[in-house]
Structure 1
C-alpha cells in the first residue's frame, strides 16, 4: 500500500486519556469486539508518543521492532522506546497488560535509566516477579476507572511510575551489575549514550573521543573490546537504522533522508548504505513495500 506520509507515523497512545498516561488489560477477543480498526492499529507500523510496556500473561505475540522479530511468551515483559517503530505480525490467545507514559510524566531518573537500556528485548520474569507486576498493573487499571478527584492524576502518575520502576529493575538485574563493569564497559556505555544523542551531526570517532576526553585509539579499543565492533561501525549502524525507518515509513527521497541524517554527500551515503546492508537504499524500500 503506498505511504502518503513523509515521516514515520506516531500514534498518540498516551494522550487519549488526557493525562499523558494510559493503562489497560486486553485480550484477542477484546480487540475483535473493537472491530477491524483495532486489529489494523496493532498490525500497522508505527511509533508511540510515549514509553510503552507490555506484560504478557497468556498466549504468544510475534512483534517486529526496528526490523528485528521477537516472540513474546507468557510471563514476559517488553519495553519499547518512543523512537522505535514496531508492529505485531501475529498473536494467539493473548492476554496482555499494557501501559504507556510520556516523558513529562516520568520520574526523571527513570527516564534516564530507560534511555540506557534501549533497545530492550523481551524479558522473561520469574513467576513471583510477574505476579507482583501484574497485580500492580491491575491496581493502576482500577485507578483509571475511579471518578477523578483532586489526587486522581497524581495517584495514577505515581502508580504508573512504580510499574515502570519495577520493569526497569528487572532489566537492570539482567544486565551486568554496575560494580562489575570494567573501565572499557563504562567508556563504551558513555559512547553509546553520546551516539544516540548526536548521530545525525557527529560522524567521526575523533569527535566522540574528544567529548569523552580520551584518545581515538583508546576509545576504539574500549568499544571494540566490549562489542566486537569499531566506533565507526557503531556510528554507521545507528545512522543506517534511522535510514531504514525513514525508507520504510516515509515518502522522503533517499537524498532527503541522507540530508536529514547529516550527509550532504549523497553518493557517499548511498555507498555506505549498500555496504552496510547488502542492498541499495531504493532496493531496501522496494523490497519492504512489497
Structure 2
C-alpha cells in the first residue's frame, strides 16, 4: 500500500504491492501494517479510503476499528471484510494485537470467484463469525495462504500466484456464503448487479432511475422490480442511499462546506442537497457534522 493523495480530505490508499512481492495480494500482520503505513506516510488511525479489499482476522487480543460509521471490535474467531471504496479507521494502540490481514486487488481472485462473492458486498464492513466447524478449515487455509505468500514452500513465482489465488478464493467464497446465508438469489439478480454498478459509477452525475434505466436498456419498472427483489426496497432508494453514504463520508471526514459536499454528490443547488439530507437524516448537514464532533467520531 502507499499513500496516493486525498479525496476531499480523505486519504485514498491504492493497492501497491511491496517491492519483490507477488502482485495482487499480500498477507501481513497488524504490527507490520502499522510499520509499513508509517514509512509510507499513511496514518491508519485517521480515515482512509481503500482502493482494495482488506480481510482481517485476529488470533489473540482484539482490534478496534470503524468502517463507514460502524464501530467494530474484532476478537479471535471473527473476520472483517472491508471492500474497496469503504472508509476504514483503526484505533491507536494495537501493536500487541496478534492478527493477520489479507489485502488484495479487486481483480486478483478471478472472474469465477468474483461472481460468487459479489453479493458479499452487502455485508461489506460486517463482522462475520464462522461456526467452529467452518473456522478451523478457514484458519488452516489462511495458514497455507500465508505460507505461499512467504515463499516457504519453494514453488516458482507463477505457481505461487495461482496457488494463492485458489486458496484465497476458498476463504472468500466461504465467507460470502456465511454473509449471505438465508438470502436466496432472486430473479432478476443480474439486472440488479448491472444497476448497482452503474449507480456506483454514476451517482455523482444523476440520481434519476429513468437515466440509469435508459443507460442500461431497461425500463424503470424492471430496475425497480429487480432492486426490490435483491434488497427489499426500490431503485430510487438504492440511488439515494448511495448518495447519502458519500455525503456522510465527506461531512464526517473532510472540511468541505455542506454546499461543496452537495456538489460532490451531484446536487446543482445547495438548497436541494440540504432538503434531501434533512429528509433522509432528520437534520441538516451542519447539524450532522456537529453531532459527529460531539460524540468524538474516531
CA spacing shift, 1:116–1:254, aligned 2, 3 Å: same
Match 2:104 to one of 76, 101, 105: 101
Match of 1:84 in 2: 86
CA spacing shift, 1:176–1:197, aligned 2, 3 Å: farther
Match of 1:285 in 2: 289
Judge which range, 227-236 or 110-119, deviates more: 110-119
Structure with higher helix content: 1
* Alignment deviations for residues 81-119 of structure 1 (CA, whole Å, 9 cap, x no partner): 120001234888743221111235442343455544214
Name the CA distance, whole Å, in 2 between partners of 1:227 and 1:149.
46
Match of 1:126 in 2: 131
Match of 2:59 in 1: 57
* Alignment deviations for residues 113-164 of structure 1 (CA, whole Å, 9 cap, x no partner): 5544214222212334323232333333334444899933x34433432343
1:287: how far off?
A: 3.3
Match of 2:278 in 1: 274
Judge which range, 213-222 or 135-144, deviates more: 213-222
Give the 3-state SS of the residue equivalent to 1:69 in structure 2. Answer: strand
Match of 2:195 in 1: 191
Matches within 5 A, 1:193-272: 193-211=197-215, 213-217=217-221, 219-224=223-228, 227-272=231-276
1:17: how far off?
A: 4.2
Name the CA distance, whole Å, in 2 between partners of 1:148 and 1:209.
51
1:217: how far off?
A: 4.0
Kindly indicate whether residue 52 of structure 2 is the aligned counterpart of residue 47 of structure 1. no
Kindly indicate whether residue 143 of structure 2 is the aligned counterpart of residue 138 of structure 1. yes
* Structure 2 residue ranges without an equivalent (≥5): 1-5
Give the 3-state SS of the residue equivalent to 2:103 in structure 1. Answer: strand
Match of 1:25 in 2: 29
Q: Give TM-score scaled by structure 1 length.
A: 0.77
Name the CA distance, whole Å, in 2 between partners of 1:103 and 1:191.
19
* Alignment deviations for residues 248-269 of structure 1 (CA, whole Å, 9 cap, x no partner): 2233333333222222122101
Match of 2:166 in 1: 162
Is the contact made by 2:151 and 2:160 (CA closer than 8 Å) also made in structure 1? no
Higher relative contact order (CA 8 A, sep 6+): 1
1:206: how far off?
A: 1.9
Give the 3-state SS of the residue equivalent to 1:53 in structure 2. Answer: strand
* Structure 1 residue ranges without an equivalent (≥5): none
CA spacing shift, 1:280–1:113, aligned 2, 3 Å: farther
Is the contact made by 1:133 and 1:163 (CA closer than 8 Å) also made in structure 2? no
Give the 3-state SS of the residue equivalent to 2:10 in structure 1. Answer: coil
Is the contact made by 1:116 and 1:193 (CA closer than 8 Å) also made in structure 2? no
Task: Report the count of equivalent residues.
Answer: 281
Q: Give TM-score scaled by structure 2 length.
A: 0.75
Query: In angstroms, what is the RMSD of aligned CA positions?
Result: 3.8
Is the contact made by 2:188 and 2:229 (CA closer than 8 Å) also made in structure 1? yes
Name the CA distance, whole Å, in 1 between partners of 2:143 and 2:155.
21
CA spacing shift, 1:218–1:111, aligned 2, 3 Å: closer
Give the 3-state SS of the residue equivalent to 2:259 in structure 1. Answer: helix
